[in-house]
Amino acid sequence: MPKALLVLQDGFYLEGESFGASGTFVGEVCFNTSMSGYQEILTDPSYRGQLVTLTYPQIGNYGVNGEDSESESPQAAGLIIRSLAVRPSNWRASESLEQYLVRHGVGAIHAVDTRALVLHIREKGALNGVLTTERMSVDEASLLAQDYQYGAIDFVGQVTTKEPYLFDEQGKLSKIFGDRDLLPEPKVPVAFLDYGTKKNILRSLRRRGFRCYVFPARTNAAEILASGARAVFLSNGPGDPAVLDYAVDTVRGLVGKLPIYGICLGHQIIARALGGSTYKLKFGHRGANHPVKELASGRILITSQNHGYAVDEKTLPAGVQVTHVNLNDGTCAGLRFEQAQISAVQFHPEACPGPRDAELFFDAFARETGEKSKP
């Protein structure tokens, strides 16, 4: 395998072997602690503009298949792993991870000390990096990483749908879940704002009888209200919510007029629309085993998470209640504004693969919108 170099903006570097596309790839370096799900991680639009480090030591052992992607193609800028499984062994695999990355032009490096890299990020905080197979010195790569302005880029504009559409994967869902999970006829129309959604959020809503009309991120409140939707759902997505004033303005125009639910970036946009603020975490929450406490019941949920920003609960206005708390660091993991029928969570209740503890979030949305939609 050809050599590859990973350099962070502070000069920290690792030399390894390339197993993806050739070239130079720039992004914010982050890490995910999940033991499986690399295909879902790579295709999650929330990773747009990031070089993703996976902490599980061997990646690629079950290959890549045509059903588990969360979007149409990889979204991460690059992949960093300890060891590549060269020969995948799984009956569902259609190609190897290496073949998949090369085909889509995504850079990747292995045979590096991912533990040292993660410890460095945990100590120093989030850092930009350069992954390259080209002839480049450490100093040159470090300067290139320093010039990258991750927090200033509107990644949502890059990953949102270009045109509105009606989501319906009934045939595919029937194939996956079979007779044990028959699909209800979609009856409740929902306006779904796509900030970079994972397909499984839409599938989770479809399985509960929602007819999801997916709108581009820049759709305004008047268009949503004119659509005939009975509720609004805000998706996950990449980047800093502070650069998404257009999304905040849309949600602000919907408050009190329709029930609103949100996940991850949707949670942050709701907080900003209600008058709160967000901030960048030191190194983010990304993994499949993050404990979250539901304050009303005291129940502990094991959740899947992927975010680098958080809601500052101290800035939330009166009437907005924090509903969930991340037990690793005490950050806000959910909110509720009862007066306007608004709920949101920072974690991913749709996560697959991942824990299913938090799927009740969709059931609560179904109960609320079902009641609101009755004649």
Catalytic residue IDs: 264, 348, 350
pLDDT of residue 183: 65
Distances (CA, A) of 82 to 55, 112, 249, 354: 8, 5, 43, 22
Question: Rounded to two decimals, what is the model's pTM?
Answer: 0.94
pLDDT of residue 172: 54
Mean pLDDT by 10 residues, the chain (375 residues): 95 98 98 96 98 98 94 97 95 96 98 98 98 97 98 98 86 50 77 97 91 96 96 98 98 97 98 98 96 97 97 97 98 97 97 86 90 46
Task: Tell which residue, 290, 295, 326, 296, has the closest CA to residue 311.
Answer: 326
Sketch out the chain's domains with CATH numbers: 3-148 (3.50.30.20), 156-373 (3.40.50.880)
HEC states along the chain? CCEEEEEECCCCEEEEEECCCCCEEEEEEEEECCCCCHHHHHCCHHHECEEEEECCCEECCCCECCCCCCCCCCCECEEECCEECCCCCCCCCCECHHHHHHHHCCEEEECCCHHHHHHHHHHHCCEEEEEECCCCCHHHHHHHHHHCCHHHCCCHHHHCCCCCEEECCHHHHHHHHHHHHCCCCCCEEEEEECCCCCHHHHHHHHCCCEEEEEECCCCCHHHHHHCCCCEEEECCCCCCHHHCHHHHHHHHCCCCCCCEEEECHHHHHHHHHCCCEEEEEEEEEEEEEEEEEECCCCCEEEEEEEEEEEEEHHHCCCCEEEEEEECCCCCEEEEEEHHHCEEEECCECCCCCCCCHHHHHHHHHHHHHHHHHCC
pLDDT of residue 375: 35
pLDDT of residue 374: 44
